Amino acid sequence: MSHLHGTAKRLNESIRLLERAYRKSAQPEATFLYARVLLQRGVPEDVQLALSLLTNLDVSRMRPEFRPIVASAAVDVMLRGHDTKSANEYLSGIAQHVTQDAVTALRAHVAAAEGNRAEAEALALRAKGELTEHSGADTKEFLARLFMKLEMFAEALPIFRQLFDSNIQSFDTGQLLDCAARLHRDDIVLATCAELERRDQDPWEVVSFEVQYLQKYSRDGALARLESFLKAHPGHKFAILMRSLIGVQSQQANLVSGNVDDLPTVDELQPEYIRPLVHVLRFAAARNRLSITRIVFSDCILTTSERIRL
């Protein structure tokens, strides 16, 4: 509760500071940031004020690359209120000042919100055809996410790959990995993970995802990746757990760590790791005749996992 209180306090402080900046200058950037933080707090009065701020911004006075971002935020607020009519009217009003690909993509977004899937798909494909080398990364990512929402994964994949290859810091690579996985493009998943490692942008979430794919083709490759990660992050408990699980599966006791102190605690465990931890502890207990405490520890975890129906 104290964490939530602290977050709310910081959010209120941000709103106060941005409101002051907005009233002082009313510059488009300050207005947009003020509207965005109001939406983050999300009370009805904030949402209405944010919508008013966004729709009253004169996009013709903004930097061209900033215009689609503001337009997208305004449309999103209208769709939050299920006001597709106003969204389309707003897009008609700004169309001459925003790139055609962005306007078409936003119209597709509105059509999807209306439940008109055929129109949404047609407009999304048109927007893709309107993309040029000068199209903004935000517009491309918005369109690719829309293709994902429409389950048009093959259309989203090349856009996500282009964004990834551009090495844009703000791009969420998880979108590319998710898209490639849905298309069963293991080659792209593994190549993307390898490139992230080369860039030193390989958090555990990516490495664990990669290791699951590597195991399909080479257990030795999966182990080598874990060892590489552990060399850079000594004592990483989840990496040790995953290596231990591979040891259990392959009956290689030398890979298994049955020391509870080396493994994630109950509080640290995500649901998907509970059963692997139980298997590792039981394997270690059977091999090394560990104390009953550790066996009870694993039984308690299993009881918890069964209770929450894992």
* pLDDT at position 227: 95
How far is the CA of 117 from the CAs of 83, 109, 110, 112, 151, in angstroms? 17, 10, 10, 6, 11
pLDDT greater than 50 at residue 213:
yes
pLDDT bucket at 166, cuts 50 / 70 / 90: very high
Is the whole-model pTM more than 0.85?
no
**CA torsion sign, 27 to 29 to 30 to 31?**
positive
* Mean pLDDT for the stretch of residues 43-63: 93
Q: What is the DSSP letter of 191?
A: H
Give the Cβ contact number of residue 150 at 10 Å.
Answer: 18
User: Which of 257, 261, 217 is closest to 240 using CA atoms?
Assistant: 257
Q: How far is residue 26's CA from residue 48's CA, in Å, rounded to a whole number?
A: 18
Mind listing the pLDDT tens digit for each residue in 229-285?
Answer: 999 999 999 999 999 999 999 999 899 887 888 888 878 878 888 888 888 888 877
Alpha carbon 202 to its chain's center: 14
CB neighbour burial string for 128-142, b if at least 16 within 10 angstroms, e if fewer: bebbeeebbebbbbb
The least confident of 51-55, 151-155, 249-253 is 249-253
Q: What is the DSSP letter of 115?
A: T
* Mean pLDDT for the stretch of residues 95-120: 97
Instruction: Sort 122 into a burial class: Cβ within 10 Å, 0-12 / 13-18 / 19+.
Output: middle
pLDDT greater than 80 at residue 191:
yes
- Is the separation of the CB atoms in 88 and 110 below 8 Å? yes
